[in-house]
Structures are given as structure tokens and as C-alpha cells.
């Protein structure tokens, strides 16, 4: 989101507002770029409206990334693909004991 952050007091106020939002997990404030990056499970318009009301400034939503993959989190029937494992070749050596050692 983009918001006009003039001074350090504005940054502190934005940080306090964002921290008190329960649905926001993490946030990052970039003062020079006048940008706030927030992560969590929320509607971006709700966060923008809340910031706009409390800061009394215009808030612009820049970019929205859906990190759930469009499945809404853990959905039924959706299975993760197991990681690729290379097949291991074991050499058979009759001279050695084949039972596992317990330490």
C-alpha cells in the first residue's frame, strides 16, 4: 500500500495501527518509498480503509499477492506433491553383517 509518510511520527503511528490489527501477521514500512507491506489473512480493502480512517490520509493499494495458491489455504482434496527423492543403490556385500546396528 502507498501512503504519504512525512516524518518518523507518521511511521510510528502506522506501525501501531498495523500491529493492533489481529489479521495482519507481518508488516514492513518503507519510509523513503512511502510504502507499507503487510502479510496475513485479510481483505486489502479493509486494511486500507482502517489506515485511511485512523491516519486521515489517502491510501493506495499497489499490488496484491495471493500466497495460498488460490485454494483458500488447506482445502480438502488438495495434496502437496512429495519432494523428489533420488533412488539409492545399496551394494550387497556378503562379508558384512546385514542387520542394523543399535547404538
> Within a domain: residue 69?
no
Residues 49, 55, 61, 63, CA torsion sign: negative
Supply the pTM of this predicted model.
0.60
- Looking at the structure of the chain, the number of domains it has is 1
The CATH number of whichever domain residue 39 belongs to comes to 3.30.70.100
With left for phi above 0 and alpha for psi between -120 and 50, is residue 14 left, alpha or beta?
A: alpha
List Cβ neighbours of 14 (8 Å cut-off, separation of 6 or more): 3, 5, 29, 36, 51, 55
> Within a domain: residue 7?
yes
> Within a domain: residue 99?
no
> Within a domain: residue 19?
yes
> Within a domain: residue 85?
no
- Look up the domain containing 11 and give its range: 2-60
> Within a domain: residue 75?
no
What pLDDT, in 10s, does the model give residues 51-84?
Answer: 999 999 999 998 887 766 655 544 444 455 555 5
Amino acid at each position: 500500500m502507498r501512503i504519504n509518510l512525512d516524518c518518523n511520527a507518521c511511521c510510528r503511528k502506522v506501525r501501531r495501527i498495523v500491529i493492533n490489527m489481529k489479521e495482519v501477521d507481518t508488516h514492513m514500512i518503507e519510509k523513503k518509498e512511502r510504502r507499507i507491506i503487510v502479510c496475513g489473512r485479510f481483505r486489502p480493502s479493509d486494511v486500507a480503509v482502517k489506515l485511511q480512517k485512523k491516519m486521515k490520509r489517502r491510501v493506495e493499494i499497489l499490488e496484491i499477492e495471493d500466497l495460498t495458491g488460490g485454494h483458500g489455504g488447506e482445502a480438502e482434496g488438495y495434496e502437496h506433491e512429495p519432494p523428489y527423492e533420488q533412488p539409492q543403490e545399496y551394494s550387497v556385500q556378503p562379508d558384512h553383517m546385514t542387520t542394523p546396528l543399535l547404538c
